[in-house]
């Protein structure tokens, strides 16, 4: 069977992260949503997404296909139901379709003509950007079981203080020195070739992906994910860093989501709680105004390739678009459009030729190329987001 992950109706609610990736490639827990599905299915998947992303994320269609809503994370029972789908059958969770059987002959799908199967068990669905950190602890626990079941961890090195050893898994090549790992409240996963430096303190659930680094003295609270090739220092709580990003120095990051290729300067801090303890509002790309989140704690949402200088201060519920560069004293606005250059004192447009120079240099440090495909994606995002840059 051919499995295709599609963005679905939530794509715009997940901006700015879905400007540069399909919904399937959002990281929550240890793995991306795509990696979870492929692990469960034992097969590779392709994607239905925005046209300008198709060159990087192509779709392969066969005579018979099962299309899966990428906003849903898999479970064993859900995958079993999906594998047993027949023609003209669809699985729903309330009003949302999870998966359906389709053929290449169908010009459009009319679900009224389908046999609708209700999935009644609990399942993680990512409908809003803040769901990524809200459900991250639960996703870490699910991924931990998926990745470590019937496997043996590398031994915990001498000099590591730990609690609940059976809830700690260390992959091959990881290096840990004089750290504290507390897995009492949830699992701790240390990825392949990851580095945990001296005097780091970690409280699970926590996930650290391949080649990630926790710098000396870092304090990492529960429900946090450090994506591959990311470098993290200071204090972090309930945050998801997708990958290839750095927060290398002291400063606080909480209840936040950071995309790829981001850099937070030394002593960058975000607020995650309003002074009056009121519900946090967050910029909505769907309504183009601030919307209620239902949350008391909500920090920073930062899109790919964005960066901020030393001593940057972010207000509660701040949304930063793609390829923004922030610096200077004072608080930046709590919505900063993509390709903005400046800070509290004002903004100018961050031209793509300068963005491409920085992206080339940053990716080269990780032995990756900023190629024409990546360039064309950012050019499309630049055009799409121009309407927000009315400084």
Tell me: pLDDT of 255 over 80.
yes
- The C-alpha angle with vertex 273 and arms to 186 and 304, in degrees rounded to 5, equals 75
What local confidence, expressed as pLDDT, does residue 108 receive?
78
Tell whether 292 and 173 lie within a shared domain. yes
The closest of 285, 277, 202, 209 to 240, measured between CA atoms, is: 209
Domain boundary among 127, 156, 188: 127
Distances (CA, A) of 304 to 29, 64, 245, 374: 19, 35, 9, 12
Distances (CA, A) of 187 to 62, 169, 244, 379: 40, 8, 23, 40
Average pLDDT over residues 34-48: 97
Domain boundary among 108, 127, 146: 127
Predicted TM-score of the model (pTM): 0.96
pLDDT digits over 124-134, tens only? Answer: 999 999 999 99
Tell whether 114 and 181 lie within a shared domain. no
C-alpha gyration radius of the chain:
21
Tell whether 41 and 175 lie within a shared domain. no
The closest of 146, 130, 161 to 223, measured between CA atoms, is: 130
Residue 52, C-beta contacts closer than 8 angstroms, at least 6 positions apart: 376, 377, 380
What local confidence, expressed as pLDDT, does residue 386 receive?
98
Tell whether 343 and 227 lie within a shared domain. yes
- How many domains are there within the chain? 2
Tell whether 81 and 193 lie within a shared domain. no
**pLDDT band at residue 103 using 50, 70 and 90 as cut-offs:** confident
Find how far residue 70's CA is from the centre of its chain.
Answer: 13
Tell whether 297 and 364 lie within a shared domain. yes
CATH code of 50's domain: 3.90.550.10
217's tokens:
């003295």
Tell whether 319 and 354 lie within a shared domain. yes
Tell whether 161 and 119 lie within a shared domain. no
pLDDT digits over 374-388, tens only? Answer: 999 999 999 999 999
Percentage of residues in the chain with pLDDT exceeding 70? 99
Tell me: pLDDT of 107 over 80.
no
Tell me: pLDDT of 264 over 80.
yes
Q: How far apart are CA 247 and CA 234, in angstroms?
A: 8
What local confidence, expressed as pLDDT, does residue 109 receive?
83
Q: How far apart are CA 92 and CA 317, in angstroms?
A: 32
Asked if 257 and 303 count as a contact pair (C-beta separation under 8 A), the reply is no
For β-strands 188-190 and 206-208, DSSP reports them as: parallel
The half-sphere exposure of 228 on its side-chain side, counting CA atoms within 13 A, is 9
What local confidence, expressed as pLDDT, does residue 131 receive?
98
Asked if 358 and 261 count as a contact pair (C-beta separation under 8 A), the reply is no
- DSSP secondary structure of 292-343: E-S-SB--EEE-TT-EE-TT-EE-SSEEE-TT-EE-SSSPPPSEE-TTEEEE
The boundaries of the domain holding residue 262 are: 132-388
Domain boundary among 127, 142, 172: 127
Tell whether 122 and 136 lie within a shared domain. no
What local confidence, expressed as pLDDT, does residue 233 receive?
98
Tell me: pLDDT of 122 over 80.
yes
pLDDT digits over 328-362, tens only? Answer: 999 999 999 999 999 999 999 999 999 999 999 99
Tell whether 67 and 210 lie within a shared domain. no
pLDDT digits over 279-300, tens only? Answer: 999 999 999 999 999 999 999 9
Q: What are phi and psi of 132, to 5 degrees?
A: -65, -45
pLDDT digits over 59-82, tens only? Answer: 999 999 999 999 999 999 999 999
Tell whether 191 and 45 lie within a shared domain. no
pLDDT digits over 183-235, tens only? Answer: 999 999 999 999 999 999 999 999 999 999 999 999 999 999 999 999 999 99
Mean pLDDT of the chain: 97
Q: Is 61 helix (H, G, I), strand (E, B) or coil?
A: coil
Q: How far apart are CA 268 and CA 262, in angstroms?
A: 13
What local confidence, expressed as pLDDT, does residue 162 receive?
98
Tell whether 99 and 144 lie within a shared domain. no
Output the CA torsion 17→23→26→32 (10° steps): -170
Quote helix, strand, coil % in the chain, to nearest 5.
20, 30, 50
């Amino acid at each position: 069977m051919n499995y295709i992950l599609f963005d679905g109706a939530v794509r715009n609610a997940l901006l700015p992260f879905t400007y540069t990736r399909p919904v399937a490639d959002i990281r929550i827990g240890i793995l991306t949503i795509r990696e979870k599905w492929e692990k469960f299915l034992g097969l590779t998947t392709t994607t239905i997404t925005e046209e300008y992303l198709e060159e990087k994320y192509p779709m392969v269609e066969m005579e018979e296909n099962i299309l899966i809503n990428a906003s849903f994370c898999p479970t064993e029972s859900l995958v079993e139901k999906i594998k047993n789908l027949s023609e003209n059958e669809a699985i729903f969770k309330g009003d949302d379709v999870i998966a359906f059987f389709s053929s290449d002959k169908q010009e459009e799908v009319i679900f009224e003509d389908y046999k609708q199967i209700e999935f009644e068990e609990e399942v993680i669905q990512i409908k809003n950007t803040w769901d990524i950190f809200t459900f991250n602890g639960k996703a870490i626990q699910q991924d931990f079981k998926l990745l470590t079941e019937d496997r043996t961890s590398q031994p915990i090195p001498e000099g590591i203080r730990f609690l609940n050893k059976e809830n700690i898994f260390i992959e091959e090549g990881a290096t840990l020195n004089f750290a504290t790992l507390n897995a009492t409240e949830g699992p701790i996963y240390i990825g392949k070739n990851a580095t945990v430096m001296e005097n780091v303190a970690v409280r699970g659930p926590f996930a650290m992906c391949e080649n990630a680094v926790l710098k000396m003295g870092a304090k990492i609270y529960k429900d946090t994910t450090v994506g591959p090739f990311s470098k993290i220092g200071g204090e972090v709580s309930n945050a998801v860093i997708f990958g290839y990003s750095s927060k290398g120095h002291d400063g606080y990051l909480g209840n936040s989501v950071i995309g790829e290729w981001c850099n937070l300067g030394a002593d960058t801090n975000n607020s995650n709680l309003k002074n009056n303890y009121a519900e946090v509002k967050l910029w909505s790309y769907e309504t183009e105004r601030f919307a209620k989140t239902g949350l008391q704690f909500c920090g920073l949402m930062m899109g790919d390739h964005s960066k901020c200088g030393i001593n940057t201060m972010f207000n509660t519920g701040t949304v930063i678009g793609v390829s923004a560069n922030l610096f200077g004293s004072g608080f930046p606005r709590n919505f900063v459009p993509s390709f903005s250059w400046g800070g509290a004192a004002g903004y100018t447009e961050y031209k793509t030729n300068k963005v491409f120079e920085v992206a080339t240099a940053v990716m080269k440090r990780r032995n990756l190329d900023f190629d024409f495909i990546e360039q064309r994606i950012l050019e499309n995002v630049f055009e799409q987001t121009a309407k927000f840059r009315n400084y």
